[in-house]
Structure 1
Amino acid sequence: MPVLERDPWRLQYFEHVPCPEHVQIPTDDPDCWLLFPAHRWIYDKLKIAETQGLVSGPHGVMPLSFPVFSKPVTNLRGMGIGSRVIRSGAEMEHHYQPGHMWMPLLTSDHVSTDCAVENGRVAWLRHATGVAWEGGMFRYWTVHAKAFPDLGEHLARWVSAHMSGYTGMMNFETIGGTIIEAHLRFADQWCDLYGAGWVEALVRLYGEGRWDFADDNRRDGFSMPLFARHGGAFRHPPADLQEDVRTMPGVASLQITFHEHKPRDDHAMPPGGFRLAVINATSLAAARNARLRLAQAWDPEQLLPQD
């Protein structure tokens, strides 16, 4: 299957859609780095900051004011690994780390946006927001049917200015309209919530260089994780329980988001918890009901409170 998917629980979105063998569609940043050398510079977060005129610098250059947000210049594994708020010069010295940078601490709305790009032009986009929890976790994400006009126009201008010649998907993480991360891929966690025919349009974009998707029937979607405490030993739920959850009313998909036989520490997880599953649904109530049903597969003492 030409969709390059490293997480087997997401193959369900692509395995039944025909795709020419010569077409390669990345869903993970290391693959994007290899496939698009002319545009891999976007994984340099210092450069992303500079394109927007943000005051920023590498560790070793002292900020003129605090607080600042510190993070790796390049991090292809994601999940906020290695990032922190730094509130003083003394903290800056204490947390000095080669390969890290600082930038302004942004505190407004955090939005994830998937874009289809045709030759440096945004042809389609969709926004998602998360309800933040603790320890880098989110309670759930909403994939919005509505447009965010100001943000959409800002991203379209940025793409037009900086992505000449690029055709494919992009994902942007923004806070208050400021780009904090850019990726040469889409968010494969909830692509099933974009509507019927979206994956077929994805294949056309990479195979033919054109975006053609009927997007007239948008509706809000919801993506809800189930987290456990770090340190436990976890097995996948029984197949019949998984099938029960997948067929519950309003459930679009179920992802069991860990490898049974892979060491726990080799999973890229937020510091607050170990993600066991993600449920995509067409309503919050459907997602919560499915999560309660799925949670019966594990010892409740291992699970984090869900609400």
Structure 2
Amino acid sequence: MPFHVRDPWRKQYFDAVPCPPDIHIPIDDIDCWEWYPEYHYIYDKLHVARSQGVPSGLAEDMPGAFPVFAKPRINLKGMGVGSRVICDAETFRTHMTPGMIWMERFTGPHVSTDCAVVKGEVRWIRHAEGIPSSEGTFRYWTIHGMEDLALGQYLADWIASELPRYTGMINIETIGGRIIEAQIRFADQWCDLYGRDWFKAVVALYGEGRWPLVEDTVRRGYSVPLFARHGCVPPHPPEEVQEAIRAMPNVSSLQITYHPQQPGEAHPMPPGGFRLGIVNGWDLPDLFSARRALAAAFPCVEMLEL
């Protein structure tokens, strides 16, 4: 299997993808950091901000105006760990520690964009827009094509400038059309919605340096997470329950996204909730039904918004 997977719930996407054994495709930022030291600067959120001319700084740099958004300068665990809005100078002095950065707080759509890149040129792009809930959690994501041409061009220009020799996948998160972070990989939460031919194209990208996929149409999909309140790490639902949810109408996949043998604090999670699972598929009402069925499999756990 060419896709290096650390979380077992992702393996369902990659096990059946044929690939020569000498091709290695990273899924996790820890592997990206180890394999691509020449691109460490892409994970530096201060660099990302300043590359766009965005007001930003370190803990010793008092912002000229509030609110600002504070977060770790480098975060290889994801999930918004350690991030928060800071509204005044007193909170800034209390919260900001070495290793953190602040940047202008953006407003507008939160979009995660996957790009296939050949020598700095974007050859394929797919946007996913998140509907925020609270404190870093999302109600659901809508995965679509190239409806936002302006955003696609902005990202293509940034990639050409920042990664002129890079070939591979890159994921970029934006709010209101401005980049907040980037990773040298694709988003593994909803990659099953891209289709089997897409996985074959990724193998060709890393193995041959080319992007062979041609798409006539793009099917809209959705990724719907289930969040519970922090404080409890329950057992996984029985396998027969999981299989029944996977068989529900318009469901593409089900992921149970935590390790039941580990304590809650060992899981990188947003402040607003503990993510129990994700349902991906093609029809939003059907996926909401599947999420409710998944929530019912945790009868003693307090859920967030359903």
- Calculate the TM-score normalised by the size of structure 2: 0.96
Cα deviation 1:11-63 (Å, max 9, x = unaligned): 11110011111111111111111111111211111111111111211111111
Q: What amino acid is aligned across from residue 302 of structure 1 in structure 2? A: V
Q: Distance in 1 between matches of 2:96 and 2:211?
A: 44
Distance 1:44 1:295 in 2: 37
CA distance in 2, matches of 1:54, 1:286: 40
Matched AA of 1:281: G
**Paired position in structure 1 for 2:239:** 239
Deviates more, 1:96-105 or 1:179-188: 96-105
Q: How does 1:1-307 map to 2 (within 5 A)?
A: 1-299=1-299, 301-307=300-306
Contact 1:126 1:147 in 2 (8 A): no
Mapped partners of 1:54, 1:305: distance in 2: 34
Task: Quote the offset at 1:305 in angstroms.
Answer: 4.0
Q: How far apart are the structure 1 equivalents of 2:97 and 2:17?
A: 44
Cα deviation digits, residues 84-141 of structure 1 (max 9, x gap): 2222222221223011111111111111100000011100000001111112111111
Structure 1 window deviating more from structure 2 (151-160 vs 210-219): it is: 210-219
Residues 248-272 of structure 1 deviation map (CA, whole Å, 9 limit, x = unaligned): 1100001011112122221111222
**Percentage of matched positions with identical amino acids:** 53
Tell whether the 8 Å contact from 2:146 to 2:152 is kept in structure 1 after alignment: no
Write the distance in 1 (CA, Å) between the matches of 2:63 and 2:223.
Answer: 37
SS of 2:196 mapped into structure 1: coil
Paired with 1:247 and 1:92, the residues of 2 have a C-alpha distance of 49
Separation in structure 1 between the aligned mates of residue 145 and residue 163 of structure 2, nearest angstrom: 26
Unaligned runs of 5+ in 2: none
Greater shift, 119-128 or 269-278, is seen at: 269-278
Tell me, in whole angstroms, the C-alpha distance in 1 between the residues paired with 2:224 and 2:60. Answer: 39
Q: 1:17 to 1:103 in 2, by over 3 A?
A: same
Q: What do the CA deviations read for 1:180-223 (whole angstroms, capped 9, x no partner)?
A: 10100000110011123111111111111111113223111011
In 2, Cα distance between equivalents of 1:88 and 1:305: 29
Task: Supply the distance in 1 between the matched residues of 2:272 and 2:176 (Cα, whole angstroms).
Answer: 24
**C-alpha contact 2:233 2:263 (8 A) present in aligned 1:** no
Runs of 4+ in 1 over 6 A off after TM superposition: none
Q: Secondary structure at the match of 1:153?
A: helix
How many equivalent residue pairs? 306
